[in-house]
Amino acid sequence: MALPVCVVDAFAEKPFTGNPAAVVFLDEPRDDAWRQSVAAEFNLSETAFVEPGKDGYRLRWFTPAVEVPLCGHGTLAAAHALWESGRLSPSSPARFETKSGTLTARRDGEWIAMDLPSLPVRPAKPPLGLMKALADTPMAFCENEGVYLIEMDSEETVRRSAPNLDAWSALTRKGLILTAQSRRAAYDFVSRCFFPADGIAEDPVTGSAHCALGPYWAERLKKPVLTAYQASKRGGVLLIRPKEGRVEVGGRALTVWRGSLC
C-alpha cells in the first residue's frame, strides 16, 4: 500500500529556501532498516516518520546515515504537514512523542512555534588538534553532549568560514556550530551548523542547534526574545524564546511537493 509523503521547506520564507525535510505518514510500524533506507533514498538532512500514538503522534527522524534523537526542522515540517493535510485541525496543537520526550507545536499566525528541550552549553577546552580544522581563532569555545559551539569575532567570519570537516570528523563525532552576533538590525545572531558524523556536511537550518544557541545568546545579549539567521546557502530565519528548561523555536514552513511512497 502506498504511503503519503511530502517534502516541506522548514524555516523558509519562500520555496527552495530553509531546510527541506521529507515527511512520511505511516499506517503501521516499520522496522528501522526500512526507515533508514527511505531516508537514504530521499537524501535530505532529515526524513520524519509520523505515526498515530496514544496521545498525539509518534515522531522519529533519520538522516541519510543515522537516526537522530532531536530534529527541529523535521518537527516543524511534520506539524505543518499534519495541519495542511487535514489530519489535525489547524486550531489544535501538534503533540509528538519522541526520543527527546514530548514535543509540541502550535500555529501562531504564519509562524509555527515549537516547544523543544533546552540544551545549554558550557565553556570547554578544545580537544587537542581540533582547532586545526578551523582557519579562524574563536572568541569562545563551548560544548554540550552533542555539539561544540564556537563564537567567532564577526558575522562575516561565520559566513566565509570553510572548516575542514575531514579533520574535524577524525577527532570528534560532535557537531560544529559557528556563531556570531549579527551586525544587521534584522537579526540578533547568525550561525552555521555542520554534522559530518551524522552524514550532513552543512545543515541548511537547524532547529535543534538553537536549543543551545538560544540560551547562549539570551544570556550574552540579555534579551528574552531573539531573531536568528542561519547563514547557509539556502538560509533561514528563526524566532527564539528561551524558557526555564525549554526553548520555543519558531519558523515558517511550506510544502514543495506531495506524492506517495511505494
pLDDT at site 1:
74
Which of the following is catalytic: 28, 41, 46, 248? 46
Question: Tell me: the pLDDT tens digits for 130-143?
Answer: 999 998 889 999 99
E-assigned strand segments in the chain: 3-10, 19-25, 46-53, 56-62, 67-68, 94-98, 101-108, 111-117, 122-123, 140-143, 147-151, 175-181, 189-195, 200-203, 226-230, 236-243, 246-251, 253-261
Q: Which residue has the cell 489530519?
A: 87
Say whether pLDDT at 98 is over 90: yes
pLDDT at site 71:
98
pLDDT at site 262:
86
| DSSP code at position 79 | H
Could you confirm whether 51 is annotated as catalytic? no
pLDDT at site 137:
86
CA dihedral sign of residues 136, 139, 141, 146: negative
237: pLDDT confidence band, cut at 50, 70 and 90?
very high
Domains of the chain plus CATH, in order, are 3-113+250-261 (3.10.310.10), 122-244 (3.10.310.10)
What mean pLDDT is predicted for residues 1-27? 96
Question: Tell me: the pLDDT tens digits for 40-86?
Answer: 999 999 999 999 998 999 999 999 999 999 999 999 999 999 999 99
pTM of the model: 0.96
What mean pLDDT is predicted for residues 153-173? 96
Which residue blocks in 86-139 are alpha helix, DSSP H? none
Q: How far apart are CA 84 and CA 80, in angstroms?
A: 6
Stronger pLDDT, 55 or 248, i.e. the higher one: 248
pLDDT at site 176:
98
CA dihedral sign of residues 212, 217, 220, 225: negative
108: pLDDT confidence band, cut at 50, 70 and 90?
very high
